[in-house]
Amino acid sequence: MRNVTVTLDEETARWARMEAARRDVSVSSLLRELLREHMGGRVAYAGAMERYLSRSPGNLGGRRPTREELHDRAGLC
């Protein structure tokens, strides 16, 4: 593992200390956990987007819907 110095404003540092205490972990462990969660979410989102964009448009006659079709609000009135 590598050591990294992080500078936080007082409000953020106070929250981090309180949250770490609530979870019974160090601030370093808390930040590591939060960063891993964030990183995992971004990786999952990128994978989902790649799968979506690689799909066939399907039921629209072989084409992707237009912006207007996606955001058509006429049927909601």
Please name each of the domains of the chain with its CATH number: 1-55 (1.10.1220)
Per-residue pLDDT of the chain (77 residues; tens, 9 = 90+): 899 999 999 999 999 999 999 999 999 999 999 999 998 888 888 888 888 878 766 655 667 777 887 887 665 55
pLDDT at position 33: 94
Euclidean distance between CA atoms 46 and 4, whole angstroms: 27
pTM score above 0.75: no
Task: Enter the tokens of residue 59.
Answer: 């039921």
Q: How many helices (H) and strands (E) does the chain have?
A: 3, 0
pLDDT at position 43: 82
pLDDT at position 73: 67
Q: Using alpha carbons only, what angle is made at residue 74 by residues 71 and 76, rounded to the nearest 5 degrees?
A: 90
